[in-house]
Every structure is written in structure tokens, then in C-alpha cells.
Structure 1
Amino acid sequence: MFSRGSWPEARRIGHILRQETVGGVLLVAAAAAAILWANSPWSDVYESVRDHTAGPAALHLDLSLESWAADGLLAIFFFVAGLELKREFVAGDLRDVRRALVPVLAAVGGVVVPALIYLALTLGEPGAARGWAIPTATDIAFALAVLAVIGRFLPTALRTFLLTLAVVDDLIAIVIIALFYTAHLSVLPLLGALVPLGLFAVLVQRRVRSRRLRELLAAATWTLVHASGVHATVAGVLLAFTVPVLRGHRAGGPDAGPGLAEHFEHRFRPLSAGVAVPVFALLAAGVPLGGLDGLASALGDPVAVGVLAGLVIGKPVGIMAATWLVSRFTHADLDEELAWLDVLGLGLLAGIGFTVSLLIGELSFGGGSATDDHVKIAVLGASLTATALATVVLRLRNRAYRRIHKVETLDLDHDGVPDVYQER
């Protein structure tokens, strides 16, 4: 487990990490700005901006700016996550079932255990069970931004593991949102969404060069999914799964080069990481703290305690347990250069649940409610706690990481490919 993969995949993952790291810095800055703004003398301005409505009323899209960010901008985020997931399993190192098994099962463990901890701690609290999915998500951008600071020499295999785990985590989250947070389902718009979705699939499969038409069909799919009552971000994942990863037979077969998925990733990842997620954070993370008394009141809420414990304790426990079970029942061993302490550090990093956790909190308890404010405080507190704990654990292994990094980057023949990958 966690053995070194191929050089093309390592290079691609490195490129993704650099982009997501920049996005993570913007995300943290936007969240900090939102908290400061919501607790400043101009907090009423923040509320009025967040609640300002815009959009065509005839299509029932006269939404608040906060709703546009949660439903619209995050659809771009999930579109990129869907592209990345499909790319990994079709053309990446994870097309090997044995390599894919570890991050997928770790992601499942990182969803199940936090949910169980949350339900146990909120047992008997009226209405609290609606928020069981809040501590199940990992924030890619936030976690990778922290990783860039505290784990610059982390081995490529562990970086790939964290990225894949977070993407699978997001996919599980979108399935949970679609199945458990759809209050009223309108079948006709949902069936109608299949028409533009199918036409979009035909265009991308045939590589029809009509950007405007593709965008029009994507917007129509999103609008109909939104009208159906299913959370509109689901449309982003559905659209992503139609995009081909490899070129078709007419273009020369799979070996001819990458398909549209890689092109769309390059095009939309900066928009997702640099605009969509930070704007959502700016409009969603602003919560009045109310001083020490307000924080004490929020953290005394069983819902907040469940979210905090689910992210900080449940995530690493679930990921560690799932990974250990894989090694136990498949007779797989950790790569000889790594230790279980590394897996614990990544599990703690996965406890940084920000973007999707905030989204599910709003869906569970309603934006602006007292419970939702408590959820926001708990998510922020959990993210800071997980960051601090992950920093301690990963720093303990920093000397080993430096040694592995030297091996992975040594290029004696100066051909641009590290020698260790050529040896393989």
C-alpha cells in the first residue's frame, strides 16, 4: 500500500496540488474575511449582501446570493471533482483495482465512522439527526493548502492518496445530498434534465467544437435539476461523468492522447479553486460569534459537539480502521519507506471539513438558523483543531519525508524524469 506510482501520474498530481493549494489559500482568506465582516460594526451590510436576491423569477431562479453560491458555484466545484475522479479510475494509477481499493475504502470509513459518532452524541436531541452527514466531508482545497505548508516533502503516493480520498469523499457527499436532502422531488423536471444531459454527452463524445452550445446545455441541465428539488450541484457530477477521458477510436485509439476531461480540468479547476469555492466561503462562513459566551453556548449544543467530534476523531479513526482492515484481510503491507503514523496524519488532515460540511449544515437546519450558526462554529473549530493535530503528527515524520523526497527527485541523467521512476 502507498507504493510509488508512475511518473506521468506523479507529475499530474503535483500540478493539481499546486492549483488546489492556491485555491486553499484563497479559501482560508475568504473564510477569515467572512468571520471578521460578520462580527464587525458592518455586519448588517454582510447580511444584506448575502440575502440579496437576483435571477429570473419566471424560472424560479430569483435566489439569494448565498443560494447562488451554494447551488451554482459549487456545481462547478463538483464538476471538477467528478472529472478528477473519472480520470483517476479510467486513465490514472487507480485503474488498477488493487491500488484503488485503499483510498476508496478509506473514504467510506471516513464517512461511516464520523456519522455514527455524530448520531451517538446527538441521540435524543430533537431534530439533530438531520445533520448526520455534516462531519462526513473533507475539504480538498483547505486540506491541500495545509499540506503544502506542513508536508512539502510528503511522498507522492501519500499526496495521491489524500487527493483521491477527498475526491471520493466529495462524490459520496453528493450522493448523500441527492438521496437524503431532497425534500420535494418533481419527477418531470428531473426526467427533462436527461434531454440536455444526453445532448451534452453526445457533443463531448463526438468532440463537437461548440463551446457556447455545450455551456447552454450544461446550464439547461443545471436549471432542470434545480427545479426538480434535487440539489443542483448533482448536475455538475452528472455532466462530468459524460466527458471522455481518452480519445476515441476515430482519433487514433486510447494511446493517441488525453480526451476532453483533461482539457476541461485545466480550464475549470482555476475557476473552481480560485473563484467558486472562495466566494461560497465568503457568503457561507460568516457567523456572529457573540464573544466567549456565544462560543460557549454554541459548543454546548450537542449538534456542534457531534460535528466537532465526528471530524476531529471520527475521520482519522474511520480512515485508519478501513486502511488497517485492507491490510489485514488482503495481506497487503505498507510501503517499506512509510509508517502508520503517516496514515494517521492524513486521517487528521481529512478532518478539515469545510465547504461541503457548511453546505450540508445549511441543508440540514436552514441557513441563518441558530443551529446552523452553531454548525458553522463547530466546522471552523474542527478544521483548526484538525490542522493543529495533523501538523504535530506529520512534523514528527519530517526527516523521513526529506529522505524520500531526495530519492523521488534525483535525476542524474538530466532527462527530466526522476531516476527512481525509470528504474521501475
Structure 2
Amino acid sequence: MSPGNGQSHTFLGRLPLPERKAVADALRTETVGGMLLLVAAAAALVWANTPLKASYGAVRDAHFGIPAWELDLSVAHWTSDGLLTLFFFVAGAELKRELVSGDLRSPATAALPVVAAVCGMAVPALVYGVTATSGGGSWNGWAVPMATDIAFALGILAVINTHLPSALRAFLLTLAVVDDVGAILVIAAFFTSSLNVAALAGAGLGLGLFYWLHQRKRIHGWYWYLPLAVTVWALAYIGGVHATVAGVAMGLMLRAGHSPLPEKGTLEHIVHVARPLSAGLAAPLFALFALFAAGVSVSAESLRSVLDGPEPLGVAVGLTAGKTLGIFCGTYLAVRFTRARLNPALAWADVFALSVLAGIGFTVSLLLGELAFPDPAQTQSVKAAVLLGSLTSALLATLLLRLRNARYRALYEQETLDLPPNEAPQNA
């Protein structure tokens, strides 16, 4: 009880409506997840490199679930196989929106981010293969440097961005949607275990029912879809396909509206309502995945294993050099040989800085590393390589973006000085 105003306050209780609305609006920003991931990754590295690292391993490897349904998983597996499904559901929904009403609606506008994203996946895989095989290694980890961690990239861009063109962030978002879906297709096609045909058939029937209820019958109640989504996810996992496929499939099945305002039951409405839940609940839990996945021992020995091992070195070089070359050259080739055009607000220096930023492959790359290298000793070296490559890309991109931001700030200040006082812009 608060004696000052006579109102009682419950600890961690339900916030008043204005505060709930403010929190929900804040959580709808895409950069919140990136900030949480940064905090979780830092906590993981500290936890895994202190005398408490034994408790870290105990929490990570603790099992719970339903053994009779083959769902008795460790905490790490629940996060990587379960929580990432929600992440890819949002990615699938965003891709559907881009295909229907966004930048991917027409071939001319879709060519640039699509070509950039495809090249940004193919070139790192090729760079990995050349680096690893030249040192006597294998092609096993070719997929690890392909993925860009959009949440981390947006988090860094949000910290730096004060005068950068808004088109830079839009380009990153569109590219990342294609990149995310490409990553899940790679997981589905190349990293599946032995298939359970009956379970996969059940998952397919569940997806068909999802489509029929949502697209045909226009049923809006979440209580229909939540149990169905969990069932489809479980059947996909039991079937031997990485269960995140179910998330992106359901996201692509959402019905897009045609009104500027979100219509109830449409993709826009669902994303609008789910965004606070995704950023306020799923993103922290997704950050928990980063917490468990990033917990590698940082030492001279782990860094040496990256430089001495052909596969880890291929991963690190693929993220830093491969991503930059793939996205930048892909963008240039698309502009040079197709009808795609670079946004007039962007310069090629901006695209290069963004290409370096895309070398942050943290979360999904760690997942792909575990799938590609099941041996625990090799997994640790590959994780260290992902962290080293991602950190190098993040530092270089931060430097380049700060230089570009300073350039745009100087241009803004010059334009402000040149304008009459009554015509000067009020904000950046």
C-alpha cells in the first residue's frame, strides 16, 4: 500500500492500460530483440568462463518433456528446436507481407535484395569450402557462415543510427527476411535426421487444416491455432525435419489484407498483435538460446583452435570476408545487369558497410554449427569461430557505419546552416 496516494500496488502486477500500451509499442520495435541478445550473449560468455561454468553446463543439459512422444529434450534443444520456431514464424509472415505488398511484390524491386541475399549465402559457403579444403578439412560446415543474425545487426544499427538513411535499415530488413527463409530451407534440406513418414504426413495434414481454417473459413480465434501449431511443431520434430520448418510454413500461410489498416485475422493484424509477445517474451527466450549456445570457453587455446583447424577457420573467414563479398558484389551485379536500382538515398559505401554488418551470423550460425558438427570437441571450436567471425564483423561494421553516420550528420548540419531559420528542419 502506498500511503502517499492511497492506491495499492502489486509487485510485478498488471500495468495500467496507458503503461501497457507504451510497453507494447516499445516492444514492437525490431531492435529490442537485438539488445536482449547482446545482453544474453555477454552473460553466457561470462557464465561459461567463471568458476560457475559447471552450473552452466548443468542447466544447459537438463532434460524435461514427454519421453513417450520423443520430446524429452534438453534445455538447449528446447530453445534451438522450439523457440526458434516462433522466430521463423515471424520471418515467414514478414516474407509473405513483402511478397504481397512490400518490396518483393514486383520482380524489379525484389531483384536487388533477393540477389544480394542469395549471393550472401552462396559466397560464404564457397569461401568456407576453399579455406577448409585447402587446409585438409571437409565441406561439412559449408552452411554455418551463410546466416545473418538480423536481431544483432539491427541492435548495432540502432545504437549507431542517428543520421543514416532510413533506406539502409529497410534494405537490411528485406535482405534479412530472404536470408532467414534461406537458412530454414537449408536446415530442412540438408540437416534432417531419419524421416518418420507417418509423423510428417500428420504435420502436413495439420498445415492443411491451418490453411483451411485461416484462409477458407476465416476463423480468427487464437484458441484454434495455438494447439494446432504446437501439434504441427511436435509432428514435424518427430518426423525428423527441423521443427522450425513448421514455423515458417505457417507464417507463409497467413492471409494478407488489402486495407491500409490491419484487418482482424489478417497477417498485418496478427503480426501487430504478436509483436509485443514476440519481443517481450519470445525474444528474451530466444536470447536464452543465445545464452546456452554462446557459452564457449574464451581462452588462448580456443582462439588457437580456430586458427589451427581448417573447418573453424573456414567458418570465421566465411562470415567476415564471404558475407561482405557476397552481398556487396551481388548488389552491384543486380544493379549492373538487371532492372533493379539502388535506392537514391544510399551510396555504395553504405552498402559495403551493411555487407560487413551482415557478417554477424551469431544465433542461427551457432545452430547450424551444432547440426553440422555433432562431435562436442569440434562443436566448441566452430562456436568459437562463429563468435570470432561475428565479433570481427560487428567491430568493422561499427567503425564503417560510424564514419558514414558522421558523413550524413555533417551533410545535415550543412543543409541546416544553408536554410533560412524558418525553413530549417526541426529534427534529424
TM-score bracket for the superposition, by shorter chain length: 0.7 to 0.9
TM-score when scaled to structure 1? 0.86
Note the alpha carbon deviations across 1:273-332, whole angstroms, 9 max, x for none: 43232011011111122x223322333211111111111111110111111111211365
Structure 2 letter corresponding to 1:183: S
The alpha carbon displacement at 1:174 in A equals 0.5
Structure 2 CA distance for aligned equivalents of residues 405 and 17 of structure 1:
30
1:387 aligned onto 2:389? no
Instruction: Report the CA distance shift for 1:401/1:210 in structure 2 as closer, same or farther (over 3 A).
Output: same
Note the alpha carbon deviations across 1:49-76, whole angstroms, 9 max, x for none: 1111000111110000100000000000
Q: Given that residues 96 and 252 in structure 2 are in contact (C-alpha distance below 8 angstroms), is that contact kept between their aligned partners in structure 1?
A: yes
Listed as ranges, the gaps of 5+ residues in structure 1 are: 1-14, 248-252, 408-417, 420-424
Structure 1 letter corresponding to 2:324: P
Aligned to 1:300, which of 308, 313, 316? 308
Instruction: Report the CA distance shift for 1:313/1:18 in structure 2 as closer, same or farther (over 3 A).
Output: farther
Structure 1 CA distance for aligned equivalents of residues 84 and 138 of structure 2:
25
Please list, as runs of the form range in 1=range in 2, the aligned pairs for 1:91-170 lying within 5 A after superposition.
91-123=101-133, 128-170=138-180
Which residue of structure 2 lines up, in the alignment, with residue 398 of structure 1? 405
Please list, as runs of the form range in 1=range in 2, the aligned pairs for 1:5-404 lying within 5 A after superposition.
19-123=29-133, 128-205=138-215, 206-246=217-257, 257=263, 260-273=266-279, 274-289=283-298, 291-330=299-338, 333-366=341-374, 369-402=376-409
Structure 2 letter corresponding to 1:261: L
More displaced stretch, 307-316 vs 195-204: 195-204
Q: Given that residues 236 and 243 in structure 2 are in contact (C-alpha distance below 8 angstroms), is that contact kept between their aligned partners in structure 1?
A: yes
Q: Matched residue of 2:71: which SS?
A: coil
Which residue of structure 2 lines up, in the alignment, with residue 410 of structure 1? none
Q: Matched residue of 2:360: which SS?
A: coil
Instruction: Report the CA distance shift for 1:370/1:270 in structure 2 as closer, same or farther (over 3 A).
Output: farther
User: How many residue pairs align between the two structures?
Assistant: 390
Structure 1 CA distance for aligned equivalents of residues 278 and 288 of structure 2:
10
Structure 2 letter corresponding to 1:277: F
Structure 2 CA distance for aligned equivalents of residues 405 and 80 of structure 1:
35
Structure 2 CA distance for aligned equivalents of residues 17 and 159 of structure 1:
18
Listed as ranges, the gaps of 5+ residues in structure 2 are: 1-24, 415-424
Structure 1 letter corresponding to 2:311: V
Structure 1 letter corresponding to 2:357: L
Structure 2 letter corresponding to 1:281: A
Instruction: Report the CA distance shift for 1:164/1:332 in structure 2 as closer, same or farther (over 3 A).
Output: closer
Structure 2 CA distance for aligned equivalents of residues 395 and 156 of structure 1:
15
The alpha carbon displacement at 1:177 in A equals 0.5
Q: Given that residues 17 and 144 in structure 1 are in contact (C-alpha distance below 8 angstroms), is that contact kept between their aligned partners in structure 2?
A: no
TM-score when scaled to structure 2? 0.85
Structure 2 CA distance for aligned equivalents of residues 341 and 385 of structure 1:
19
Q: Given that residues 20 and 140 in structure 1 are in contact (C-alpha distance below 8 angstroms), is that contact kept between their aligned partners in structure 2?
A: no
Structure 2 CA distance for aligned equivalents of residues 335 and 200 of structure 1:
38
Higher Cα Rg, which structure: 2
Q: Given that residues 112 and 340 in structure 2 are in contact (C-alpha distance below 8 angstroms), is that contact kept between their aligned partners in structure 1?
A: no
More displaced stretch, 372-381 vs 100-109: 372-381
Instruction: Report the CA distance shift for 1:309/1:16 in structure 2 as closer, same or farther (over 3 A).
Output: farther
Structure 1 CA distance for aligned equivalents of residues 207 and 345 of structure 2:
46
Shift >4 Å, 4+ stretches: 15-18, 124-127, 253-259, 403-407
The alpha carbon displacement at 1:142 in A equals 0.2
Structure 2 CA distance for aligned equivalents of residues 381 and 228 of structure 1:
35
Q: Given that residues 134 and 307 in structure 1 are in contact (C-alpha distance below 8 angstroms), is that contact kept between their aligned partners in structure 2?
A: yes
Structure 2 letter corresponding to 1:244: R
Instruction: Report the CA distance shift for 1:124/1:403 in structure 2 as closer, same or farther (over 3 A).
Output: closer
Q: Matched residue of 2:104: which SS?
A: helix
